[in-house]
Amino acid sequence: MGGLQRFGLVLIAAALLSGCGYKPTSRAVKPVLQESVSTKIVISMQDPDNTVYIKDALDEAVVNRFRTRLTDEAHASTHLTISLRKVVFNPVQYDTNGYIVAYRAIVTLDIDRERGEETRRYNARGSYLFTIEPNAIISDLVRFEAIKYGSEKALDSFVAQVAGEGASAEVR
C-alpha cells in the first residue's frame, strides 16, 4: 500500500471518529453526579465480607469511570448509598451423570443517589458464570469470587444507567 493510500485511509478514519459524536462516560455522567461524590454501603447480614468488597468497587468506579472526586458526605454534591439486595446461584450446566458443573451467580444491588432534594433509586444486576467439579459444593472462596465479579458487572450496569441519564440530560 502506497504512502498516499495510507494517508487517505488515516484521514478517512480520523474524519469518521471525530464526527461520530462519541463522548466518554465520565463526561456524560457529570450532569448527574456533578463534581464530588460520597459513598456509603448498607452492610448485609448474610454477606458482610462481600458488602465491604462492593463498597471498594463502588469507590473505584466513582474515581476511575466517573472521573469524579470522592469525598465525605458533608462536602459531596452527590451521595450514593448501596445495598446488596439479593444473590442467587442458578445451575446452568449438568454433566452426563446429572451433577451440576456450572452455576450462574446473579447479584442485585440497590443504589440510591441523593443530590440536594432529588433522590433516585437504581436497580443494578450483574451475573457471573463459573464451573465446579461434579458432585461438589460451592466453597466459600468460589462463592465470594462469584459475588465479587457479579457485583462488578452490576456496578457496570449502574455506570451505564447513569451515563445514559447524563447523555439524555445533555440533549435536552
User: What are the per-10-residue average pLDDT scores of the chain (172 residues)?
Assistant: 64 60 55 72 80 78 75 86 91 94 95 88 95 88 89 87 72 48
d(CA 30, CA 23): 12
Is the CB of residue 51 less than 8 Å from the CB of residue 146?
no
- Say yes or no: domain 25-171 is CATH 3.30.160.150: yes
What pLDDT, on a 0 to 100 scale, did the predictor assign at position 102? 95
d(CA 74, CA 41): 16
Q: Give CA separation, 104 vs 67, 107, 126, in Å.
A: 31, 10, 10
The model's pTM is 0.74
Residues 6+ apart with CB under 8 A from 81: 39, 40, 41, 42, 111, 112, 114
What pLDDT, on a 0 to 100 scale, did the predictor assign at position 132? 92
Lookup: cell for 88: 442467587
Break the chain into its structural domains and give their ranges: 25-171
| Helix spans in the chain (H) | 3-19, 25-33, 48-60, 140-171
What pLDDT, on a 0 to 100 scale, did the predictor assign at position 55? 79
Is the CB of residue 30 less than 8 Å from the CB of residue 36?
no
Strand partners, 70: 37
